[in-house]
Every structure is written in structure tokens, then in C-alpha cells.
């Protein structure tokens, strides 16, 4: 009943360009209308940054899934499983298990103690200026790495869909994506961005579900035969076993550990995920959002296992690697194989929407952090009125958009799941120790916080700069140079423990005592939600 083309003819993809662009234009038009409607009553800073705290747990949970299931998850993981077999599945597991850290240790406590940004929580009981500046800098750094990954994904996707393989053409597309994103965020603020995330999450999960069922149907709903198909296509039984990518040497095994650590500890420290908890009215709704997003995200990652091995079996790893867009093209190629131009068009439009929405979410987070933490609290010392703050945030959006476009052009061609893993490593090193310590360790001090944040951030970024990702191998960003003295491509295994250690050391060596009353206030607020629960109490 299903006609399956014998092999995927990559050249035939070019004929579908107009259709792809049409479907994508439709998505942009529909979401733009929604954003315009949603933004009608954006008045205060709480409206702009936190969507007036008007979303329900399930809406916010869907939006979190939308934020989290980025191009890295969809294009990157599917590609990694299709090409590297089992080792790619590791991403799915790490990205999901990580949510338990957010659920158990961070989400509700953070919702109860903050207002708009991560820095609100971290500076709650410590000295405002130094901690706020450190938290804002690390927020900006993590957002920047994450943005790079998304923009690089946009480049790969375009090269596949529009058959644009020259550098200038791809750069132009990245500029268009960046410009659209700036418009969404400027007009819609957090409310508009959230609605874009919700729509996109539903489309992405539905699209992945259809493809998963389709692949399973081809193999008679038998996972074992699907895996057998992947083995036959690759002519290598090792695709089902761990170690194909990371098992080659002792160093690469260590790299695998490092990746695993960064994935599981990064999520609860991602500023754009943390900021989502402020769009709901209460901690209970924050908990509901996390539960809702764990179910959606978990379901989606189970799909990636089928999609990845499905692409390996039906499209073939060599065809994927040879296609424009490389590893990242596995999911779109599988869509083309299954449903022809129409499904490819739909899946590609969803992938575009994904990139657009995630980039918008990151941008609003970075802008909020700059305007709220650096401008309003440090430069204007709290004397800026909300209007000026929102104005600064909007200008920051434009600056960040331009930076993201430039960075995306540079990072074009890297595996996006891998780039996102670097953002996770930076987040886990720079933010997580301070979040955990300030919520759970009474003695924690300002010096501990700044040592941990700057130490974690600097060690992660420097180790990445000195790693094979940047120089020394054929796939490095800077070709022809070799200053890769650090052997691992993910810095997590060094920088995360180091940041925890620095936080402890900075605290025990600190001669200053922090305000006892503030510590009591933070602990009581975080567990009881007093002051934060007004909206439902009255």
C-alpha cells in the first residue's frame, strides 16, 4: 500500500524547493498573526519577559518541550543514530534523564525565589552586583553557544532543501532566519515567543510520531526487524552496539563520559529553560510544566531511536553523509523516502520552525538578562523604570540577533547535537554549582558564587578553545591550525567538578559572612512559595 522509492535520489530534492518554501512561508504567516494577537497587551516588564505569568502548566510544559526539542534533537540526534548507531542514542537518554535534576532540585524552588532571570535567584541572598554580573555573563555565554548550534542547523537544513551548497547562499539563508527571529521577539515578547513554541512543539512531535509509525509499519511493528534492517544496510552488526563512535580509544571513551556528564547536568542550568518557569503563576504550575515536558520530551526521544535506525536502514549512512547538509540531513531524507516531496516539505518546515522558535527563546532570555541584570540593576542601579528596561531589552534583541547570524555563518556545517552538547557543558559548569549551592547550602557566600561561575565558565570555554573541536583535525572549525592541547571534545568532565570545587573553596576561604536573614528568607520562600503565590491565593 505504500510505495517506497528504491533509493533516495538527492538530486530530486531540488524539484521540491518551491513546495518546501511554500509550507515554510505558511508557517511564518500563521505564527506571525498569532504573535501579533498575543502581543496586543504587552505593557509591563512582567508581560514582556514572563508573559504576564499567564500560562498554565500544560501550556508552559508544551512550550518547554518546544524550547528543548531543538534542531539538535531532531536533526542532530536522528543523524547521529543513523550514522554512528548506538552512540547517538546516548544523546537522547542524557537529554531526557537531565530533566529529573530540573524537576527534583531546581524548578519549583527557583520559581518561588526569582522574578525574571536566573540572576534573580543567584543574587537573592548574596551581594547583588558581583553575583548578578557573573550570572548575566554566563547566561549570555550559554545562550551564544546554543544560538551558534541552532544557526548552524539552519545552514545545513537549507543547503539540503534548497540545494544551495555555496557558502554565500547559505549565509543569506541564515540572515533571513535571523531577521525573522528578531521580528518575532521584538513584536511578541515572551507571550508571542511562547505561542510559537507551543505550535512548533505540537507540529514537531506530531510529525515525528507519523514518521515513527510509518517506519515501524514498514517493519511490521517489530523493533528487532528494524534494527536488523539497519545492520543489513550498514553491513555492520556493530551499529547496534555502543562504541562505534566513542569506543575507538581510551581518550574517546573518556570523551563519552564527559559528554554524558554534561548532558545530564546541563539542562537544569540552561538559562532559557529556567526562564520558562517564570511564565507560570505558581510553583505547582511550574511542577506541572516539568512533568508535562518530561512526558512530551521522553516520547519524542523514543521516536528518535526509531527515526535514526530507520534512516540508517531505509536511506543508508553513506547517502546521508554524502547529501548536502551531511549528518544533519538524516531526518529530512527519511521523510522524503517515506512520504515524498510533501512529507519532506512538512518535516522541513517543522525543522525550520524549530530553529526559529528556539532561537527566539534564546534571544529573549539573553535580552532579558542584559536589560534586567546588567542594565537595570547594575548600570542604572535599580533606578531604571520598567519602560526603559523593556526598551533596552528590545535593542539588545537586535544586537544578539546580528551576533547570532554572524556566529551561525561561522559554525555552519558542524553536527548540531554536538554543538548543543558544548552549550550544555558551559551551562553545567558555569551555572549549576551556584544554583545548587545557593538553594541548599546555608554557608554559601558571594566569593564562592563568583569563583564557581567565572571558574566554571572560563575553564569550559578555554578547554573548548584548546580542544579538537576548534583546531587540529579535519573537521575542526579552524582548519590548518593545531593548538588542540586538550584531547577531549567535551570539557564537562574537567570543568564541572572544577566549578563545584571552586564554589566550595571560595566559600570556606571567604572571611565575609552573608546576611543570615536573607538566607532564611530565601529558604522559606523557596519551599513555601510565600509572596510568589499571590495570584491564586486571592
Partner 1 sequence: MGNDARTQDAAASVDFEEVQATQQFKDLRKRHRSFVFPMAIGFLLWYFAYVILAAYAVDFMSTKVWGNINVGIIMGLLQFVTTFAITGWYVSYSNRRLDPIAAEIRHGIEGHDYDKSGNSALGGGAK
d(CA 204, CA 48): 26
- Residue 308 binds partner 1, judged by CB under 8 A: no
Q: Hey, which residues between 118 and 147 contact partner 1 (CB under 8 A)?
A: 120
Output the DSSP codes for 159-203: HHHS---SHHHHHHHHHHHHHHHHHHHHHHHHHHHHHHHHHHHHH
In the chain the first and final C-alpha atoms are separated, in Å, by 59
Binders of partner 1 in range 202-221 (CB under 8 A): none
Q: Which stretch binds partner 1 (CB under 8 A): 138-146, 209-217, 241-249, 408-416?
A: 241-249
Of the pair 297, 404, the CB lying nearest partner 1 is at 297
- CB nearer to partner 1: give 302 or 465: 302
Q: Which of residues 490-529 bind partner 1 (CB under 8 A)?
A: 516-517, 520-521, 523-525, 527-529
CB of 105 to partner 1, least distance (A): 6
- Does residue 533 bind partner 1 (CB under 8 A)? yes
Q: Which residues contact 198 (CB under 8 A, 6 or more apart)?
A: 59, 62, 63, 66
- Check residue 376 for interaction with partner 1 (CB under 8 A): no
Which of 61, 114, 433, 492 binds partner 1 (CB under 8 A)? It is 114
Closest C-alpha to 63, from 311, 373, 346, 272: 272
91, 195, 278, 346: which one contacts partner 1 (CB under 8 A)? 278
**323 φ, ψ (degrees, to nearest 5):** -70, 155
Q: How far is CA 376 from CA 48, 121, 190, 392, in A?
A: 15, 16, 19, 9
- Residue 149 near residue 411, CB atoms below 8 Å: yes
Q: Tell whether residue 104 is a contact of partner 1 (CB under 8 A).
A: yes
The correct pick among 169, 243, 341, 497 for binding partner 1 (CB under 8 A) is: 243
Binding mask 80-99 for partner 1 (x = CB under 8 A): ------xx-xx-xxx-xx-x
Does residue 32 interact with partner 1 by CB under 8 A? Answer: no
Cα separation, 417 vs 396, in Å, equals 27
Q: Contact region for partner 1 (CB under 8 A) — 101-109, 127-135, 395-403, 406-414?
A: 101-109
With CB under 8 A as the contact rule, the residue among 130, 163, 169, 228 that binds partner 1 is 228
Binding residues for partner 1, rule CB under 8 A, total 76
User: 340 — phi, psi (to 5°)?
Assistant: 70, -160
Question: CA 394, 398, 399 angle in degrees (round to 5)?
Answer: 115
Should residue 105 be labelled a site residue for partner 1 when binding is judged by CB under 8 A? yes
Out of 36, 295, 381, 387, name the contact with partner 1 by CB under 8 A.
295
Residue of the chain from 56, 58, 128, 225 that contacts partner 1 (CB under 8 A): 225
Alpha-carbon distance 512 to 253, whole Å?
A: 43
46 sits near partner 1 (criterion: CB under 8 A): yes
Rounded least distance, CB 267 to partner 1, Å: 12
Binding to partner 1, residues 50-69 (CB under 8 A): 50, 52-53
Helices 432-440, 416-430: axis angle to 10 degrees equals 40
Measure the CA–CA gap between 371 and 394, rounded to whole angstroms.
9
Which residue is it, cell 529529573? 100
340: left (phi over 0), alpha (psi -120 to 50) or beta: left
Give yes or no for residue 274 binding partner 1 (CB under 8 A).
no
How is residue 390 annotated by DSSP?
Answer: H
Print the binding letters for residues 411-450 with partner 1: x by CB under 8 A, - otherwise.
-----------------------------x----------
Amino acid at each position: 500500500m505504500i510505495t517506497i522509492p528504491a533509493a533516495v535520489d538527492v538530486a530530486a530534492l531540488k524539484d521540491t524547493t518551491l513546495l518546501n518554501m511554500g509550507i515554510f512561508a505558511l508557517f511564518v504567516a500563521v505564527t506571525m498573526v498569532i504573535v501579533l494577537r498575543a502581543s496586543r497587551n504587552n505593557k509591563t516588564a512582567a508581560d514582556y519577559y514572563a508573559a504576564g505569568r499567564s500560562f498554565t502548566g500544560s501550556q508552559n510544559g508544551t512550550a518547554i518541550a518546544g524550547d528543548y526539542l531543538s534542531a539538535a534533537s531532531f536533526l542532530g540526534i536522528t543523524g547521529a543514530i543513523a550514522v554512528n548507531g548506538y552512540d547517538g542514542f546516548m544523546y537522547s537518554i542524557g537529554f531526557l534523564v537531565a530533566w529529573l535534576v530540573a524537576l527534583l532540585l531546581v524548578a519549583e524552588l527557583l520559581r518561588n525565589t526569582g522574578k525574571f532571570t536566573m540572576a534573580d535567584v543567584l543574587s537573592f541572598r548574596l551581594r547583588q552586583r558581583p553575583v548578578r554580573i557573573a550570572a548575566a555573563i554566563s547566561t549570555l555565554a550559554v545562550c551564544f553557544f546554543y544560538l551558534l548550534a541552532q544557526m548552524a542547523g539552519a545552514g545545513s537544513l537549507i543547503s539540503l532543501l534548497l540545494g544551495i551548497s555555496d557558502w554565500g547562499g547559505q549565509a543569506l539563508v541564515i540572515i533571513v532566519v535571523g531577521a525573522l527571529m528578531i521580528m518575532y521577539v521584538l513584536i511578541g515578547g515572551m507571550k508571542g515567543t511562547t505561542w510559537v513554541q507551543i505550535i512548533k512543539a505540537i507540529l514537531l512531535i506530531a510529525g515525528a510520531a507519523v514518521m515513527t509509525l510509518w517506519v515501524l509499519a514498514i517493519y511490521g511493528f517489530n523493533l528487532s526487524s528494524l534494527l536488523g534492517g539497519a545492520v543489513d544496510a550498514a553491513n555492520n552488526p556493530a551499529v547496534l552496539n555502543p562504541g562505534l563512535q566513542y569506543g575507538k580509544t581510551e581518550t574517546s571513551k573518556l570523551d563519552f563520559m564527559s559528554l554524558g556528564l554534561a548532558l545530564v547536568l546541563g539542562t537544569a542550568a540552561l538559562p532559557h529553560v529556567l526562564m520558562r518557569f517564570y511564565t507560570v503563576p505558581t510553583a505547582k504550575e511550574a511542577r506541572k510544566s516539568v512533568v508535562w515536558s518530561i512526558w512530551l520530551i521522553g516520547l519524542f526521544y523514543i521516536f528518535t531511536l526509531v527515526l535514526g535506525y530507520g534512516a540508517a536502514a531505509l536511506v543508508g549512512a553513506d547517502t546521508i553523509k554524502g547529501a548536502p547538509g551531511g549528518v544533519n540531513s538524516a531526518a529530512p531524507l527519511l521523510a522524503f523516502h517515506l512520504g515524498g516531496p510533501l512529507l519532506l516539505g512538512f518535516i522541513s518546515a517543522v525543522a525550520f520552525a524549530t530553529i526559529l522558535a528556539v532561537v527566539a527563546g534564546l534571544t529573549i532570555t539573553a535580552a532579558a538578562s542584559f536589560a534586567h541584570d546588567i542594565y537595570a540593576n547594575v548600570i542604572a542601579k535599580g533606578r531604571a523604570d520598567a519602560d526603559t528596561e523593556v526598551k533596552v531589552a528590545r535593542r539588545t534583541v537586535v544586537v544578539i540577533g546580528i551576533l547570532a547570524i554572524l556566529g551561525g555563518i561561522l559554525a555552519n556545517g558542524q553536527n548540531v547535537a554536538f554543538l548543543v552538547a558544548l552549550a550544555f557543558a558551559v551551562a553545567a559548569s558555569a551555572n549549576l554549582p551556584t544554583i545548587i549551592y545557593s538553594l541548599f547550602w546555608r554557608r554559601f557566600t558571594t566569593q564562592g558564587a563568583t569563583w564557581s561561575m567565572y571558574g566554571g565558565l572560563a575553564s569550559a570555554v578555554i578547554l573548548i578553545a584548546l580542544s579538537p573541536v576548534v583546531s587540529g583535525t579535519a573537521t575542526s572549525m579552524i582548519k590548518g591550525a593545531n593548538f588542540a592541547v586538550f584531547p577531549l571534545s567535551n570539557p564537562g568532565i574537567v570543568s564541572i567538578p572544577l566549578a563545584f570545587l571552586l564554589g566550595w573553596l571560595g566559600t570556606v576561604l571567604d572571611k565575609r559572612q552573608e546576611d543570615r536573614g536573607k538566607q532564611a528568607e530565601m529558604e522559606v520562600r523557596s519551599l513555601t512559595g510565600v509572596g510568589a503565590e499571590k495570584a491564586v491565593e486571592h
